Amino acid sequence: MTTVEAKPTRQLSYVAAVSEAFAQLMREDPDIFLAGEDVALGGSVFGVSRGLLKEFGPERVIDTPISESGIIGLGLGAAATGLRPIVDIMFMDFMGVCMDEIVNQVAKMKYMFGGKAKLPLTIHTMAGGGGSMAAQHSQSLEAWFCHVPGLKVVMPSGPYEAKGLMVAAVRDDNPVIVINNKVSLRMQADVPEELYEIELGRAHVVRPGTNFTIVAIGRMVPESLKAAEMLAADGLDVEVIDPRTLQPFDTATVVESVRKTHRALVAHEAVRFGGIGAEIAAQIQEEAFDYLDAPVGRVGAPFSPVPFSPPLEKEYIPDAGRVAAEVRRILGKQV
Amino acid sequence: MTTVEAKPTRQLSYVAAVSEAFAQLMREDPDIFLAGEDVALGGSVFGVSRGLLKEFGPERVIDTPISESGIIGLGLGAAATGLRPIVDIMFMDFMGVCMDEIVNQVAKMKYMFGGKAKLPLTIHTMAGGGGSMAAQHSQSLEAWFCHVPGLKVVMPSGPYEAKGLMVAAVRDDNPVIVINNKVSLRMQADVPEELYEIELGRAHVVRPGTNFTIVAIGRMVPESLKAAEMLAADGLDVEVIDPRTLQPFDTATVVESVRKTHRALVAHEAVRFGGIGAEIAAQIQEEAFDYLDAPVGRVGAPFSPVPFSPPLEKEYIPDAGRVAAEVRRILGKQV
Amino acid sequence: MNVSTEALRDMHLRMVRIRTFEEEAGKLMESGRVPGSLHLYVGEEAVAAGVMAHLRDSDQITSTHRGHGHLVAKGGDFKQMYAELFGRSTGYCKGKGGSMHISDLDLGMLGANGIVGAGPPIAIGAAFSNQYRKTDNVTVCFFGDGASNEGTFHEAANMAAVFKLPVVFVCENNGFGEFTRQERHQAIQDVADRASGYGMPGVVVDGMDVMAVYEAAGEAIMRARRGGGPSLLECKTYRFYDHVGIRGLGVAYRDDSEVLEWRKRDPITMFERKLDEEGLLSAGEAAGIHETALAEVREAIAFAEASPFPDASALLEDVYTATD
Amino acid sequence: MNVSTEALRDMHLRMVRIRTFEEEAGKLMESGRVPGSLHLYVGEEAVAAGVMAHLRDSDQITSTHRGHGHLVAKGGDFKQMYAELFGRSTGYCKGKGGSMHISDLDLGMLGANGIVGAGPPIAIGAAFSNQYRKTDNVTVCFFGDGASNEGTFHEAANMAAVFKLPVVFVCENNGFGEFTRQERHQAIQDVADRASGYGMPGVVVDGMDVMAVYEAAGEAIMRARRGGGPSLLECKTYRFYDHVGIRGLGVAYRDDSEVLEWRKRDPITMFERKLDEEGLLSAGEAAGIHETALAEVREAIAFAEASPFPDASALLEDVYTATD
Ligand SMILES: Cc1ncc(C[n+]2csc(CCOP(=O)(O)OP(=O)(O)O)c2C)c(N)n1
Ligand SMILES: Cc1ncc(C[n+]2csc(CCOP(=O)(O)OP(=O)(O)O)c2C)c(N)n1
Ligand SMILES: [Mg+2]
Ligand SMILES: [Mg+2]
């Protein structure tokens, strides 16, 4: 598959980038439909499908009952019989309600059937905290799905990535979980007007640097860029890598960076214990052990559910300050 | 809590150790009941509850409909209102069907309610492959639950651990997921007759050694002991640690060992990518970086669903040979 | 039915307290003084009031994302409720839960819930517990028309019936799941039609008429209390405001005329008219009750805003219970 | 009903082929020659045969853990099926699936499934696809009495009804979920009673009578094909053997007398008697059909056992599709 990373042309918000991807993909391929709770008449509670019902009609933009297992099954059965569905699970926190369908059916059908199935299914969802939505509407659960063979997982960090990764996800002939971020929805960036793909499985060096590698997931990319600026003031030249796809994971790009910088940390919004940062840290020390001058650090949420109260939530969710502090701690340790 | 690790007195199978724990606990505490699919009249498809219906009657040993979400809810609602339920989810693979109840309800109720709830709930299940049960009856999904604040997770490695950890789990005032292993059910070991507890959150050094640390999970404990024997023939003195509890994880015991041996690997049956081994490896390099002479290795299943065909399944599931080979690879690398 | 004046006035009070609580809470959310999103119960008060009038403190309820009304009717304290909405340490959940998880276990309120359909499995657990411990407590499970399409409702209803559990499933059918009208999310008109598929009685009542709710709920709760097993009570009601927050008019998914039609059947106004006609509560008395409720709400808001936010050290507390 | 002799003999053949396949497979499992556990369909053949007689190759089915019978009736090839049970690379799933995941997408068989209740959501997806692509294909979803208590069944049934999908839910009510008798897992006698709660027709038939199944299934499938939406067909049947493997007699959870009573109503024997009486198939002809089936099974077993196991290199194949 060739990746066309087209030239930026205008500013677009993250939310508009997602809905533009949906619309352009649906214009291109009549086998694509979008189904989920309140995606049609309501345009999704996040606005990601606004305007689609009007353009594509109720046959292709479908409001479903509140039945997440049914929704995933709808997508799976349709994908297995020749369509290219996009199904929406409103909040990532609701994935537990349809976990069996995703993990035991969607992910395994191809393998269990000896390869016969082709499953071009995209599961779109929204993750992340920051809006005082408390313990059941704020989680980042990507680690669960990265552990499941048969699934691909992407976590766009901004509008450009949101569009390009969505296009790649929908065009991919495998089940892909696209995890967008609520708080990022209003973020603006240059986004090409045409349909472009960002290749799945390829990390992007967002900011090149020589002294330290930060592997940042999703919303932690802009936060880590801020952290890098803060650290630049200290005279530190930090490289920031956005893996973009978590499964399959682009180990090579990360390892290459660490071999150059000799120090690294992984930053994500998810709970630190058992997060994808653990896997990435484990891989870095496996592949770049002799190059490491310090242990690979991890920044993630502490070990509690997401609290409601704003000051607690602020304390809970990692940000640029915490990332920068962890970089300093790792460097200090080394001294 | 004080731990009474009583003197062994007789050989018991793993399956008998579990059912003895159930029976003795239920004799001790009338607030304990056991509910699940075919646990009463059928004595569980694995035999773990054989005889309980006869002794305790249908009020306390309850066959439920095939409704896993309902079963977890039954346990949660009962625990929140003063009982001490044990609920059974027949195969760990079925946890996806009731994932929301476990992760968003059971794990978070206490926190969301500001601490008011006390939830002495035990969720018992069976994991692991080896019986040609294929992709939906062979998984080890402990990593999912270890990532969820509010849950405790134990994985007994043998009959002694199965009884002692079950007792601790049931007596604990928190939700504990007890993950037993199918293939180990016929394993025999010395098991005390009386009720004894194995403290949750405390690892056990099963075999002391000086050259290498193997952190082995569940059924990988006996396999790793075998591997240690194989390696002893090479003149290598391997330490094997059984964490017993995965959440909370006893980092201290593992780190202490690695500071002594300078090399380590983690072995589990679960898929390697994103398994609990990633977390343990990440912690080891964080806490014992300066002591490590080689990267922390990981042995786990490859990145595919569990295959049915016996030769493929044998290739899939880690065993003593693979553990030993990985130890040798790590040592070789170092030379 | 023969209902004492005291009982009637009690239900009226519950409804007024809910309404007043919600109106002020909604404004606080819209103005940004209260964080997060609130799902208001305005228009549906007769359901909570008519059901809860039959419950004791030792009975339990499970609630939904739209939970304030349930907690108020179950006897929730305004101060601790508002403090929770404001995310303060004096709140029912020490600020950790907020609107969507507001609860008081001591009142048998097993939680508002952010997961649609999460209540029914928990409710049967509490009901099982009551049965196991041979109490005659009852558990009431509130859920919406939208929630009736979740698998959890099905599993819990079936288990309740086969175990003859003392539970009453109360469907608050307000005609919508978010922006999706009932006719677009299910091919039936009465959720109560599902009851026979589990082997339990199903009843439909006018959820704007607190007396109708009171009567039907009384029967169902009494049946459960006496060991007669579960039942399903559907209350046809309407959400005056939006799914989240106040607005509710001028939206794409329903006509204003429909909203205005339903508002003519405001459960509080209708009940006050009736009580006044029967000489059981004068318009003046009613106004006084509204005023008192508003004063209490204002006091609670003042209390909440004067309360401290939780300390950062509270973040990792309450995740686990220390076992002794 | 007017059914051609050809159609009758076709159904008989399907039943005999299932029975023969299962009897031999069961023995192979008991003797350890086939790995894993098999859930045998013996006793329930009339359901698969009576339903599948109406389906084309382009129609889909979803199956259960007890899936051999469905695949045989849908036209599955014995060789590839046995090779799969033996875990060989020539099997339908290249040995990766085994009994519990036996399937052939090309025949519209969307999989046996190890998760009880997993079929219904997948079935509505296939049905949606047929509707979307404006074909007149139909999807049939087989599920058990036990599975009817899973939330997935509920969600799928409701969605099928509200979207008017071309799907038929066929409940194979054999009276047990594993060792749990229906009366202990649900408070209703007819699973078909649940249909009205979704707004679809529900019908009960004698699942030991292939003609009864054929007739009712024909109506339901024709309705779906013509755009009339989903329906629920419950077939009362019985599992002659154990939940897993053969035994079936002398077990704790049911009386032998009950088993023997049902065996008197063996669907194949009854149908053969009827066909013989009506002069449509003589006892001799029937015996020949059994013999042919057995010969085919033996040939398939020989083929399977002579086939190679998958190579270790196959382990990581088929996890993903290469996108071009
Ligand atoms: C499992 C789950 N799916 C979806 C949602 C999003 N959501 C919140 S409220 C709601 C509508 C619920 O409708 P209903 O049950 O009728 O209750 P109402 O809001 O009308 O009171 C939805 C879809 C959720 N919170 N949880
Ligand atoms: C989600 C899930 N729960 C439990 C099981 C274990 N199990 C396998 S078959 C079965 C009984 C199913 O009963 P029914 O649906 O009536 O089908 P039958 O076996 O009678 O054909 C059970 C409980 C499972 N495989 N999946
Ligand atoms: Mg509603
Ligand atoms: Mg059955």
Question: Distance, CA B66 to ligand 2 centroid (Å)?
Answer: 7
Q: Are both A65 and A154 inside the same structural domain?
A: yes
Q: Are both B62 and B185 inside the same structural domain?
A: yes
Please name the residue whose Cα sits nearest to atom 20 of ligand 1: C177
Confidence check: pLDDT of A334 > 50? no
Pairing between β-strand A122-127 and β-strand A152-154 as defined by DSSP bridges:
unpaired
Distance set, CA B46 to CA B127, B163, B188, C213 (Å): 11, 16, 16, 48
Do the chains contact at C177 and A66, CB–CB below 8 Å? Answer: yes
CATH number for the domain that contains residue B213? 3.40.50.920
pLDDT of residue B9: 73
Do the chains contact at D150 and C153, CB–CB below 8 Å? Answer: no
Q: Are both B150 and B209 inside the same structural domain?
A: no
D90–A contact, CB cutoff 8 A: no
Q: Which of D161, D151, D147, D149 is nearest to D195 (CA)?
A: D161
d(CA C231, CA C178): 26
Q: Considering chain B, what percentage of its residues have pLDDT values greater than 70?
A: 97
Confidence check: pLDDT of C268 > 50? yes
pLDDT of residue B309: 98
Question: At A327, is the pLDDT very low, low, confident or very high (cuts 50, 70, 90)?
Answer: very high
Q: Does domain D5-305 have CATH number 3.40.50.970?
A: yes
Q: Are both A120 and A242 inside the same structural domain?
A: no
Does D144 contact ligand 2 (Cβ within 6 A)? yes
Find, in chain C, the residue whose alpha carbon is nearest to that of A65: C185
CB burial string D102-137: b at 16+ within 10 A, e below: bbbbebbbbbbbbbbbbbbbbbbbbbbbbbbeeeeb
Please name the residue whose Cα sits nearest to atom 8 of ligand 1: C116
Question: At D293, is the pLDDT very low, low, confident or very high (cuts 50, 70, 90)?
Answer: very high
d(CA B249, CA B229): 26
B30 located within any domain: yes
B314 located within any domain: yes
Do the chains contact at C187 and D158, CB–CB below 8 Å? Answer: yes
A163 located within any domain: yes
The stretch C89-109 carries a mean pLDDT of 98
d(CA B81, CA C126): 6
CB count within 10 Å of CB A142 equals 27
Q: Are both A26 and A137 inside the same structural domain?
A: yes
Q: Are both B98 and B242 inside the same structural domain?
A: no
Q: Which of B11, B21, B14, B13 is nearest to B198 (CA)?
A: B21
Q: Which of C18, C44, C65, when mutated, tests ligand 1's pocket best, judged by the most ligand atoms within 8 Å of its CB? A: C65
Predicted complex ipTM: 0.98
Confidence check: pLDDT of C215 > 80? yes
Give me the helices (H) in chain C, please: 5-30, 45-52, 68-73, 78-85, 119-132, 151-162, 182-185, 210-225, 256-263, 267-277, 283-306
Please name the member of C97, C180, C319 whose beta carbon is closest to the beta carbon of A303.
Answer: C319
d(CA B207, CA D203): 64
Interface of A with C (CB under 8 A): 37-38, 41-42, 45, 63-70, 93-94, 97, 131-137, 302-305, 307-312, 315-316
Do the chains contact at D125 and A101, CB–CB below 8 Å? Answer: no
Distance set, CA B201 to CA B152, B165, B335, C318, D226 (Å): 9, 10, 36, 18, 61
Task: Name the domain boundary from B164, B190, B216.
Answer: B190
Residue A111: beta bridge partners? none
Average pLDDT over chain D, rounded to whole?
Answer: 97
The stretch A137-165 carries a mean pLDDT of 98
Question: At B333, is the pLDDT very low, low, confident or very high (cuts 50, 70, 90)?
Answer: low
D101–B contact, CB cutoff 8 A: yes
Average pLDDT over chain A, rounded to whole?
Answer: 96
Q: Are both A162 and A220 inside the same structural domain?
A: no
Give chain B positions within 8 Å (CB) of D95: 307-309, 312
Give chain A positions within 8 Å (CB) of C316: 302-304
Question: Distance, CA D171 to ligand 1 centroid (Å)?
Answer: 30
Does D113 contact ligand 2 (Cβ within 6 A)? no
> Which atom of ligand 2 is the closest one to the Cα of D44?
21
Question: Distance, CA A175 to ligand 2 centroid (Å)?
Answer: 27
pLDDT of residue C324: 63
pLDDT of residue B335: 39
Confidence check: pLDDT of B334 > 50? no
D18-73 pLDDT per residue, tens:
999 999 999 999 999 999 999 999 999 999 999 999 999 999 999 999 999 999 99
Closest CA of chain B from D72, distance in Å? 20
D197–C contact, CB cutoff 8 A: yes
Does B90 contact ligand 2 (Cβ within 6 A)? yes
pLDDT of residue D2: 84
**Backbone dihedral angles phi then psi of residue A158, each to the nearest 5 degrees:** -165, 180
Do the chains contact at C158 and B65, CB–CB below 8 Å? Answer: yes
Q: Which of A160, A278, A257 is nearest to A207 (CA)?
A: A257
Task: Name the domain boundary from B190, B217, B250.
Answer: B190
Q: Are both A108 and A222 inside the same structural domain?
A: no
Question: Distance, CA D53 to ligand 2 centroid (Å)?
Answer: 26
Do the chains contact at B308 and D87, CB–CB below 8 Å? Answer: yes
B6 located within any domain: no
C161–D contact, CB cutoff 8 A: yes
pLDDT of residue B6: 58
Confidence check: pLDDT of B100 > 90? yes
Does B112 contact ligand 2 (Cβ within 6 A)? no
> Which atom of ligand 2 is the closest one to the Cα of D115?
26
Active-site residue flag, B68? yes
**CB within 6 Å of ligand 1 — which residues?**
A 37, 66, 68, 90, 94, 97; C 65-66, 114-117, 144-147, 172, 174, 176-178, 243
Is residue D19 within 8 A of residue D42, CB to CB? The reply is yes
Closest CA of chain D from C231, distance in Å? 13
The boundaries of the domain holding residue A269 are 204-332
Confidence check: pLDDT of A217 > 60? yes
Query: Of the bound ligands, which one is closest to the alpha carbon of residue B66?
Result: 2
Place of tokens 């990988």: B220
Question: At B4, is the pLDDT very low, low, confident or very high (cuts 50, 70, 90)?
Answer: low
Q: Are both B240 and B180 inside the same structural domain?
A: no
Confidence check: pLDDT of C2 > 90? no
The secondary structure element, H or E, covering residue B156 is none
Q: Considering chain A, what percentage of its residues have pLDDT values greater than 70?
A: 97
Give chain C positions within 8 Å (CB) of A303: 316, 319
Confidence check: pLDDT of A287 > 50? yes
**Is the peptide bond between B248 and the residue preceding it cis, with omega within 30 degrees of 0?**
yes
Q: Chain-centre distance of CA A288, in angstroms?
A: 25
Q: Which of C64, C178, C253, when mutated, tests ligand 1's pocket best, judged by the most ligand atoms within 8 Å of its CB? A: C178
Confidence check: pLDDT of A2 > 80? no
Do the chains contact at B45 and D147, CB–CB below 8 Å? Answer: no
> Which atom of ligand 1 is the closest one to the Cα of C116?
26
Do the chains contact at B77 and C110, CB–CB below 8 Å? Answer: yes
The stretch C19-44 carries a mean pLDDT of 97
Q: Chain-centre distance of CA D50, in angstroms?
A: 10
Confidence check: pLDDT of C107 > 80? yes
Interface test with B, best of A69, A103, A139 (most B CBs within 10 A): A103
Residue A215: beta bridge partners? A241, A266
Please name the member of D125, D130, D319 whose beta carbon is closest to the beta carbon of A73.
Answer: D125
Q: What are the structural domain ranges in chain D?
A: 5-305
Do the chains contact at B38 and D178, CB–CB below 8 Å? Answer: yes
Question: At A6, is the pLDDT very low, low, confident or very high (cuts 50, 70, 90)?
Answer: low
Confidence check: pLDDT of B212 > 90? yes
> Which atom of ligand 2 is the closest one to the Cα of D145?
16
Q: Are both B125 and B262 inside the same structural domain?
A: no
The stretch D261-271 carries a mean pLDDT of 98
A274 located within any domain: yes
Question: At B8, is the pLDDT very low, low, confident or very high (cuts 50, 70, 90)?
Answer: low
Q: Take residue C59 and report the two structure tokens written for it.
A: 């009975």
Q: Report the SS3 class of residue B270.
A: strand
Q: Are both B57 and B22 inside the same structural domain?
A: yes
B128-175 pLDDT per residue, tens:
999 999 999 999 999 999 999 999 999 999 999 999 999 999 999 999
Question: What residues flank ion ligand 4 with Cβ within 5 A?
Answer: D 144-146, 174, 176
Tally of domains in chain B? 2
Chains in contact with A, where contact means 3 or more Cβ–Cβ distances below 8 Å, are B, C, D
Give chain B positions within 8 Å (CB) of D117: 66, 97
Question: At B3, is the pLDDT very low, low, confident or very high (cuts 50, 70, 90)?
Answer: low
Residue A11: beta bridge partners? A190
**Is the peptide bond between A248 and the residue preceding it cis, with omega within 30 degrees of 0?**
yes
